[in-house]
Amino acid sequence: MELIFKIAWRNILRHRGKSIIIGIILFLGSLIMTVGNGVISGMDSGLEKNIVNGFMGDIVIISSKERSDNILFKIMGKSVETITNYKDIKPLLEQQDYIEAKLPVGKNGAMVINEEEGEPGYAYLLGVDFKEYKEFFKDNITPVEGTLLGDAEQGLLMSAKARDELYESMNVWFIPHGGKLEEANLSEDAKENLNSLIVKENPVFMGFSDNNSSSDIRVPVKGIIKYRALNTIWGHFAIMDIESYRRALGYFSSADTKIDISDEKKMLLESDDLDSMFGSESIIVPDKGSKDIDVDFTRKKLSTTEGVDLESGTYNLIFIKLKSGISMEHGVSRLNEAFSNAALSGTDPGVRAVTWKKGAGPIGNMATIIKGALFFFVMMLFVVAIIIIVNTLTMATLERVTEIGMMRAVGARKSFISGMFVGETAMLSGLFGGFGIIVGVVVVKLIPYFNITTDNDMVQLLYGGDKFFPILSFVDIFVVIMQLFAVTVITVLYPVKVATGIVPLDAISRD
């Protein structure tokens, strides 16, 4: 074995030109693979971190009646099943010592009525108690125009992306209530039509509801917001106070605990006195010609939810954050076990838990898809490298026909010849490939110090957030070593076959 490696090292030095070419290819391949794995792991971790800390939490609790686990981007018009017993579920959740925080939310689609008699718009609504929302998702949104909702304040936070989409479908530009038009924030299309631009600040929503009990409700825009990252995904959602959301969907409202809303009845809020809710137009656009029952809320103070027990109303989802060190799968398993035990004891909560990846549907698989695409790209680079190395080694083998033939003539076995070529390739892989891995690790460790950020939504999908932060684990490095080993084995197979096929007669013929 020692003799084989001595001869292999001598051959590397003798054919240093081709050895350097092979070494450079191995170095670059290992470097690219190491950095690529760091980017892939960083994207995967960043995407999960941004979704967990910025929009969904680790786990989503949904109604047991919900047929699909995908509740984030359902087909517009298909509503998420309701959860009407949150006050009963809350104590059970508080008993689970692995849960860090919880946030009940309403989530469904809504039609935005076009009062200019044009095409309506569509939006996803997220109904929340904004005070709890801020505590659960810290600093995940910033106002582009206007302000955020205050504690117990009713209103709407519309994303800049949703505003652009609504303008495209409705030809109406929304601004914060009582604010002014910010021309710098107009879309390119809106700027071209500035002289005839229709500006409104109180959109009318009609929620999609399977029980056909939704209402038309006017809600003032408090602010135009931007999510900290991944606006391509989250920008479809408008954040609305939970009570306004419930009225838009025709759900049971905390402020109206004495009102019974049946599947056949539609709540309509028709009253001039409701102008006091937001100090402008009536909160409700009447459904003319409707035969449903009118409900009088004129005595209610609807501009604030202060003093109202919001937890007694209807929700659609409950977001859950887990304590550090608890995996999503483990948390889901324990939660569903707790729900099952409660059902056996006669207090069925009527809900089940799913991971955020299942709840997010296609978005949950995005990390896997992008990860696979990046991995495929890096592997294609290695395939090219393999082809170049195989070609170079084969040429070197053919140039050494006389040498190999003479070695066979003096008794060298095929195994000795094979070992010699394997030794050469292994040495080059160990030296140049190993150096490439070390440099790759250093590059990955240094990148975060440059604080590379982006506002581009598509690039954020590759970054896994607004900051480029690749990471490497021992598993990632081990994977690169295994890939380098595989390249070494694959590249040496054909040259070894050629070399072992050389006989003494070939050396004589070559001379």
Q: What is the pLDDT of residues 42-88, one digit of tens each?
A: 888 887 888 888 889 999 999 999 988 988 877 655 789 999 999 99
The pair of structure tokens assigned to 196 is 């005839």
The C-alpha atoms of residue 417 and residue 270 are separated, in whole angstroms, by 93
First to last CA, the chain: 30
The pair of structure tokens assigned to 210 is 């399977």
The pair of structure tokens assigned to 19 is 């050895």
DSSP letter (8 states) at residue 448: G
Beta-bridge partner residues of 321: 101
Instruction: Using pLDDT thresholds of 50, 70 and 90, give the confidence band for residue 367.
Output: low
The mean pLDDT of 192-212, rounded to a whole number, is 85
pTM of the model: 0.75
Indicate the residue type of 207: G
Q: What pLDDT score was predicted for residue 19?
A: 83
Contacts of 56 (CB under 8 A, 6+ apart): 72, 319, 356, 359, 360
Instruction: DSSP for 90-144, please give it.
Output: HHHHHT-TTEEEEEEEEEEEEEEE-TTSS--EEEEEEEE-HHHHHHHSTT-EEEE
Helix axes 362-399 and 401-409, enclosed angle (nearest 10): 70
Q: What pLDDT score was predicted for residue 75?
A: 66
Q: What pLDDT score was predicted for residue 298?
A: 34
Q: What pLDDT score was predicted for residue 283?
A: 36
pLDDT tens figures, 470-489: 988 888 899 889 988 888 88
| Residue 428, pLDDT above cutoff 60 | yes
Contacts of 233 (CB under 8 A, 6+ apart): 363
Cβ-contact 223, 148 below 8 angstroms: yes
Q: What pLDDT score was predicted for residue 230?
A: 82
Instruction: DSSP for 162-202, please give it.
Output: HHHHHHHHH--EE--TT----GGG--HHHHHTGGG--EES-
Q: How many CB atoms lie within 10 A of CB 403?
A: 15
Instruction: Give the range with max mean pLDDT: 44-58, 171-185, 388-402.
Output: 171-185
Q: Which residue has the higher pLDDT, 177 or 510?
A: 177
Sole residue written with tokens 């978005």: 363
Torsion angle, alpha carbons of 354, 356, 359, 365, to 10? -120
Instruction: Using pLDDT thresholds of 50, 70 and 90, give the confidence band for residue 438.
Output: very high
Instruction: Using pLDDT thresholds of 50, 70 and 90, give the confidence band for residue 255.
Output: low
H or E stretch at 14: helix 2-14
354: helix, coil or strand?
strand
* Residue from 362, 372, 373, 59 nearest 232 by CA: 362
| Residue 309, pLDDT above cutoff 90 | no
The mean pLDDT of 198-227, rounded to a whole number, is 84
Q: What pLDDT score was predicted for residue 468?
A: 86
Sole residue written with tokens 């981007």: 73
Q: What pLDDT score was predicted for residue 1?
A: 65
The C-alpha atoms of residue 421 and residue 96 are separated, in whole angstroms, by 61
The C-alpha atoms of residue 171 and residue 118 are separated, in whole angstroms, by 8
DSSP letter (8 states) at residue 241: E
Backbone angles phi, psi at 315, to 5 degrees: -130, 175
Helix axes 16-51 and 362-399, enclosed angle (nearest 10): 180
The C-alpha atoms of residue 124 and residue 130 are separated, in whole angstroms, by 17
Lowest mean pLDDT across 7-21, 227-241, 414-428 = 7-21
Lowest mean pLDDT across 192-201, 218-227, 387-396 = 387-396
The mean pLDDT of 187-198, rounded to a whole number, is 91
Q: What pLDDT score was predicted for residue 349?
A: 94
The C-alpha atoms of residue 147 and residue 134 are separated, in whole angstroms, by 14
pLDDT tens figures, 345-356: 988 999 999 999
CA dist 318 to 55, 67, 86, 107, 321, Å?
12, 17, 9, 10, 10
Q: Which residue has the higher pLDDT, 141 or 396?
A: 141
Instruction: DSSP for 253-287, please give it.
Output: -GGGTT----TT---B---GGGGGGTTSS-S----
Backbone angles phi, psi at 317, to 5 degrees: -140, 160
* Residue from 363, 310, 81 nearest 210 by CA: 81
With vertex at residue 375, the alpha carbon angle to CA 370 and CA 376, rounded to the nearest 5 degrees, is 100
What average pLDDT does the chain have? Answer: 82
Instruction: Using pLDDT thresholds of 50, 70 and 90, give the confidence band for residue 293.
Output: very low
Q: What pLDDT score was predicted for residue 158?
A: 96
The mean pLDDT of 253-270, rounded to a whole number, is 45
